[in-house]
Amino acid sequence: MLKNKIRLLLERIESQTGKLENTRVFVDSAPVLDRAWAVRCGLGFIGKNTTLIQPKKGSFFFIGHLFLPIELEETGKPMANRCGRCTKCIDACPTGALEAPFHIDARKCISYLTIEYKGCLEGNDPKTFKGWMYGCDICQDVCPYNKFSLPNVEPKFQPSEQLLAMRENDWKNLTKADFDVLFKHSAMQRAGYEGLKRNIDFIAEEN
């Protein structure tokens, strides 16, 4: 979806330059140092929670890239960190994954454990997952810069009515067929039905 938006930008550029060879579009889909390049482009600074923060917009966005075979004028300057003495993200991380400012141990991060990790979650304390069954935004939710972030208005990103109608019991009884309908074109496919079911069963152990 986001890639399509970047492709539109490419079309606009090509309307000026003519067709360009060797262009590439990425959104979290290639081994590119997303945050480092974004800082270098002046888009924001890396916060103590390790996300890229735009001072007036917060951190709830994805970073996309458009590689072009043409040299562009630099438009922004790298921004120095603006977290000051704030440690809200570190204090709030329920699994202690943010071990120090700018330092995350992904193995303890709920986002990693619920999306990327394929093994068994036993050995973690379900209470520390705070009900998160796919990904985690706690270190962003508590960030003062996210007071400025606005909900997105992109129609394609809005949750479906079926998703909004889901209640705790529906999640506990989720079937593969439900999963396929709810997340047909979603990034949730990354965890897959088995992964999501594992997470739901795991956090249910808390009760």
Among 63, 143, 188, 203, binds ligand B12 (CB under 6 A): 63
Residue 70: CB minimum distance to ligand B12, A: 19
How far apart (Å, rounded) are the C-alpha atoms in residues 148 and 58? Answer: 6
By CB under 6 A, tell whether 190 contacts ligand B12. no
| Subset of residues 32 to 61 that bind ligand B12, contact rule: CB under 6 A | 32-36, 40, 49-52, 59, 61
Among 1, 20, 100, 106, binds ligand B12 (CB under 6 A): 106
Residue 177: CB minimum distance to ligand B12, A: 26
Residue 51: CB minimum distance to ligand B12, A: 4
Part of the chain binding ligand B12 (CB under 6 A), chosen from 68-76, 103-111, 155-163, 175-183: 103-111
By CB under 6 A, tell whether 91 contacts ligand B12. no
Active site residue 34: no
Residue 34: CB minimum distance to ligand B12, A: 3
| Subset of residues 12 to 31 that bind ligand B12, contact rule: CB under 6 A | 27-28
Residue of minimal Cβ distance to ligand B12: 135
Closer residue to ligand B12 in complex, CB, 36/100: 36
Q: How distant, in Å, are the alpha carbons of 47, 143, 149, 159 from that of 146? A: 12, 6, 5, 21
In this structure, the number of other CB atoms found within 10 A of the CB of residue 100 comes to 10
Give the interface with ligand B12 as residue ranges (CB under 6 A): 27-28, 32-36, 40, 49-52, 59, 61-63, 104, 106, 109, 111-112, 116, 135-137, 139
